[in-house]
């Protein structure tokens, strides 16, 4: 096992998420250079974890812009839902009117045909 | 405002999430107020660009509002939001990459909003942390997103792979490369200056 081999493995073994090969472990225990390299990776990971609580300050307008964008989406959804409700109402009204018109036409045609039949009977 | 949250604050957030899932917009707005600094910080770290980060924050909350009904509460709300932010950031970085070729800006210097609440963070000097932030921002976007999500925010490989649309194996390989690259950037810097992580 050479230092270069260990150096290649350190990035994935440094967080202790997987088992470390015994040969690697023995090499590190005996090699000051690899111990120093491992210590560098550990310091780097520790510092990265600390970065989690280093908050960045957003522009003062970000919150207002985000809430306004949400508001806009909410309004669009409300309008869409209103329109789809109206569309249903329109479709219902048109359907009802068509049925009524068909019924009226049928009644008129029936009445005409009865009048015509009566007139024929009188004539004969 | 972002802080290290106490169990009481987590309970309040959980109650707000329940209300928001039932369609309460005011509850969701309150969730935004309580989490947006955290979300913005993650977005800057992922995009290395403040303007892009602002777009990512807005997109993330729009997606979260649309999807809050599907949030089952089996993870923390903040973790769920991190995943949405990661996905929104990935989408935006891909889109931006197709449009421009100039290098990404360097991320802003970190500002401690409540240093008294961060004893561990205060132990490391502001210079070192700024140097680390710069080094992370110098990583190629594909490697940076994995290092930030895994090593800074502690997301699992499974979650990262799912949000970035890659396999778990690819996520592991990129993490390996990202750590190696970050180490090289940091310790090359060390060679040039007295400060190092």
Query: A78-108: per-residue pLDDT in tens?
Result: 677 666 666 667 777 777 888 888 888 888 8
Percent of chain B with pLDDT over 70: 79
In a domain, B111, yes or no: no
Work out the average pLDDT over B54-76.
91
Q: Are residues B96 and B122 in the same domain?
A: no
My answer on whether B39 and B76 are in the same domain is yes
**What's the CATH number where B182 sits?**
1.10.10.10
* For residue B162, pLDDT beyond 50: yes
- Domain end residue (candidates: B71, B104, B137): B104
| Residue B65: per-residue pLDDT | 95
Q: B136 near A45, Cβ under 8 Å?
A: no
Question: What does the domain layout of chain A look like in residue ranges?
Answer: 3-51, 92-124
The residue among B58, B47, B60, B139 whose CA lies nearest residue B97 is: B47
The answer to whether the CB atoms of A62 and B33 lie below 8 A apart is no
Residue A105 touches chain B, beta carbons under 8 Å: no
Q: Which of B42, B75, B104 is the last residue of a domain?
A: B104
Rounded Cα gap, residues B196 and B132, in angstroms: 8
What is the model's pTM? Answer: 0.74
B45 touches chain A (CB under 8 A): yes
Q: Do residues B99 and B121 both lie within one domain? A: no
Domains of chain B: total: 2
CATH number of the domain residue B81 falls in? 1.10.1740.10
Of B109 and B156, the structure prediction assigns the larger pLDDT to: B156
pLDDT band at B111 (very low <50, low <70, confident <90, very high): very low
Determine, for residues B152 and A62 on separate chains, whether the beta-carbon distance falls below 8 Å. Answer: no
Whether residue B80 sits in one domain with residue B50: yes
Q: Mean pLDDT throughout B27-55?
A: 95
Cβ separation of A44 and B176 shorter than 8 Å? no
- Answer whether A12 touches B (CB < 8 Å): yes
Say yes or no for a CB contact (<8 Å) between A54 and B133. yes
Buried b (16+ CB within 10 A) or exposed e, B149-187: bbbbbebebebbbbbbebeeebbbebbbbbbbbbbebbe
What ipTM did this prediction achieve?
Answer: 0.77
Boundary (domain end) residue, out of B78, B104, B130: B104
Q: Which domain holds residue B195?
A: 116-197
A13-42 per-position pLDDT tens digit: 888 777 778 888 899 999 999 999 999 999
């Amino acid at each position: 096992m050479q230092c270069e081999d260990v150096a290649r493995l350190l990035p994935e073994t440094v967080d202790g998420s997987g088992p470390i090969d015994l040969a690697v472990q023995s090499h590190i225990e005996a090699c000051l250079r690899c111990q120093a390299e491992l210590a560098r990776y550990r310091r780097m990971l520790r510092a990265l974890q600390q970065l989690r609580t280093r908050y960045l300050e957003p522009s003062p307008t970000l919150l207002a812009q985000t809430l306004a964008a949400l508001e806009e989406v909410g309004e669009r959804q409300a309008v869409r839902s209103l329109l789809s409700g109206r569309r249903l109402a329109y479709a219902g009204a048109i359907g009802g009117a068509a049925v009524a018109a068909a019924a009226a036409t049928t009644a008129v045609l029936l009445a005409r045909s009865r009048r015509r039949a009566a007139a024929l009977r009188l004539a004969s | 405002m972002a802080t290290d949250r106490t169990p009481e604050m987590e309970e309040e957030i959980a109650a707000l999430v329940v209300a928001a899932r039932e369609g309460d917009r005011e509850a969701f707005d309150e969730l935004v107020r309580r989490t947006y600094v955290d979300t913005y910080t993650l977005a800057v770290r992922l995009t290395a660009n403040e303007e892009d980060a602002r777009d990512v924050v807005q997109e993330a909350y729009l997606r979260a509002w649309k999807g809050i009904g599907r949030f089952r509460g089996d993870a923390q709300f903040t973790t769920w939001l991190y995943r949405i932010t990661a996905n929104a950031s990935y989408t935006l970085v891909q889109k931006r990459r197709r449009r421009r070729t100039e290098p990404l800006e360097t991320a802003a210097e970190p500002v401690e909003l409540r240093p008294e609440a961060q004893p561990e963070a205060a132990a490391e000097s502001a210079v070192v942390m700024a140097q680390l932030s710069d080094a992370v921002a110098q990583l190629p976007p594909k490697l940076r997103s994995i290092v930030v999500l895994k090593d800074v925010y502690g997301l699992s490989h499974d979650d990262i792979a799912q949000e970035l649309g890659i396999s778990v194996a690819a996520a592991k390989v990129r993490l390996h490369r990202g750590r190696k690259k970050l180490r090289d950037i940091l310790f090359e810097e060390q060679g040039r200056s007295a400060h190092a992580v």
